[in-house]
Amino acid sequence: MKVGVEIGGTFTDLVRIDANGLTIAKVPSTPSQPDAGVFHALEVAGIAPADMVELAHGSTVATNAVLERKGARLALLLTEGFRDLLELRRQDREQLFDIFYRKPAALVPRRDTFEVPERMLANGTADRALDLEEAGPMLERALREGGYGAAAICLLNSFANPAHERDLADWLRARIPGLRVTCSVDVTREFREYERASTTSLSAYVQPVLDAYLTRIEARLAEGGFTGTFSMMQSNGGRVPASAIRLNAGSALLSGPAAGVTGAIRQAGLSGYTDIVTLDIGGTSADVCLVQNGKPELTREAKVDTLPVLMPMVDITTIGAGGGSIIWVDEGGLLRAGPRSAGADPGPAAYGRGGTVPTLTDAHLVCGRIQPDAKLAGAMPLDAVAARAVFVPLAAQLGLSVEELADSAVRIASANIVSAIRLVSTRRGRDPRDYALVPFGGAGPLHAAAVADALAMETVVVPPNAGVLSAYGLLAADHSLYDSLTRRTRLDEAAPEAVRATIMEMRQGLATRADGMGLGADRHWDVTLEMRFVGQAFEITVPLDDALAEAPTGEGLRLAFEAAYGRIYRHGGVMRDRMAEIVSYRVGLHVPPEAVPSLAGIGGHGFAVPEVMVEVFDEGRRQQAMRMARSSVGATPRPGPLVLEDVTATTFVPVGWLAASDPAGNLILRKAAP
pLDDT tens string 388-427: 999 999 999 999 999 999 999 999 999 999 999 999 998 8
For residue 75, give the nearest of 169, 3, 4 by alpha carbon. Answer: 169
CA–CA distance, 1 with 617 (Å, rounded to integer):
44
pLDDT band at residue 607 using 50, 70 and 90 as cut-offs: low
The residue count for the chain: 674
pLDDT at position 304 over 90: no
**Average pLDDT, rounded, for the chain:** 91
For residue 360, give the nearest of 437, 288, 412, 418 by alpha carbon. Answer: 412
Burial (CB count within 10 angstroms: exposed 0-12, middle 13-18, buried 19+), residue 373: exposed
pLDDT at position 576 over 80: no
Q: Cα separations (Å) of 673 from 75, 87, 357, 434, 459? A: 63, 57, 40, 18, 13
CB 461, CB 435: distance < 8 Å: no
CA–CA distance, 478 with 19 (Å, rounded to integer):
21
pLDDT tens digits, one per residue of 92-134: 777 788 888 888 889 999 999 999 999 999 999 999 999 999 8
What is the model's pTM?
Answer: 0.89
State residue 602's pLDDT score.
Answer: 60
CB 350, CB 342: distance < 8 Å: no
DSSP for 243-270 reads HHHGGGGGGGTTHHHHHHHHHHHHHHHT
CA–CA distance, 623 with 548 (Å, rounded to integer):
56
Torsion of CA 263, 264, 268, 273, to 10 degrees: -130
CA–CA distance, 571 with 317 (Å, rounded to integer):
27
State residue 572's pLDDT score.
Answer: 59
**Dihedrals phi, psi of 270, to nearest 5 degrees:** -65, -25
For residue 598, give the nearest of 309, 263, 327, 227 by alpha carbon. Answer: 263
Burial 657-670 (b: 16+ CB within 10 A, else e): bbbebeebbbbbbb
State residue 584's pLDDT score.
Answer: 96
Q: Helix (H, G, I), strand (E, B), or coil: what is residue 552?
A: coil
Q: Which residues pair with 394 in a beta bridge?
A: none
Identify the residue with better confidence: 97 or 511: 511
Burial (CB count within 10 angstroms: exposed 0-12, middle 13-18, buried 19+), residue 247: middle
Q: Helix (H, G, I), strand (E, B), or coil: what is residue 118?
A: coil
DSSP-derived secondary structure letter, 100: T
CA–CA distance, 355 with 386 (Å, rounded to integer):
9
CB atoms within 10 A of CB 66: 20
Identify the residue with better confidence: 590 or 37: 590
CB atoms within 10 A of CB 39: 18
Q: Which residues pair with 296 in a beta bridge?
A: 291
CB atoms within 10 A of CB 413: 30
Q: Cα separations (Å) of 257 from 332, 479, 670? A: 33, 16, 26
Question: Where are the domain boundaries for CATH 3.30.1490 in the chain?
Answer: 479-591
Q: Which amino acid is at 653?
A: V
Q: For 257-279, what is the mean pLDDT? A: 94
State residue 605's pLDDT score.
Answer: 46
DSSP-derived secondary structure letter, 574: G
pLDDT tens digits, one per residue of 73-96: 999 999 999 999 999 988 877 778
Least confident segment among 58-67, 267-276, 601-610: 601-610
State residue 604's pLDDT score.
Answer: 46
Q: Cα separations (Å) of 188 from 203, 252, 500, 561, 591? A: 10, 14, 21, 23, 21
DSSP-derived secondary structure letter, 595: P
Q: For 434-450, what is the mean pLDDT? A: 95
State residue 378's pLDDT score.
Answer: 60
CB 185, CB 159: distance < 8 Å: yes
Least confident segment among 27-36, 149-158, 234-243, 542-551: 27-36
CB atoms within 10 A of CB 44: 14
Q: How far apart are the first and last CA of the chain?
A: 49
pLDDT at position 360 over 60: yes
Q: Where are the beta strands (DSSP E) in 293-362?
A: 295-296, 298-299, 302-304, 307-309, 313-314, 317-319, 325-329, 335-341
CB atoms within 10 A of CB 90: 10
Q: For 449-463, what is the mean pLDDT? A: 97
CA–CA distance, 255 with 270 (Å, rounded to integer):
24
Q: What CATH number is given for 67-211 in this structure?
A: 3.40.50
For residue 482, give the nearest of 522, 519, 514 by alpha carbon. Answer: 514
pLDDT band at residue 345 using 50, 70 and 90 as cut-offs: confident
pLDDT tens digits, one per residue of 305-324: 788 899 888 988 888 888 88
Q: Cα separations (Å) of 86 from 107, 115, 189, 193, 407? A: 8, 13, 18, 10, 45
CA–CA distance, 298 with 295 (Å, rounded to integer):
9
DSSP-derived secondary structure letter, 359: B
Question: Where are the domain boundaries for CATH 3.40.50 in the chain?
Answer: 67-211
* Percent of residues, the chain, with pLDDT higher than 70: 98
CA–CA distance, 539 with 532 (Å, rounded to integer):
5
pLDDT at position 606 over 60: no
Q: For 361-365, what is the mean pLDDT? A: 95
Classify domain 479-591 at the CATH class level.
Answer: alpha beta
For residue 440, give the nearest of 412, 468, 471 by alpha carbon. Answer: 468
State residue 455's pLDDT score.
Answer: 97
DSSP-derived secondary structure letter, 409: H
CB 640, CB 653: distance < 8 Å: yes
CB 367, CB 384: distance < 8 Å: no
* CA-based R_g, the chain, Å: 26
CA–CA distance, 334 with 329 (Å, rounded to integer):
5
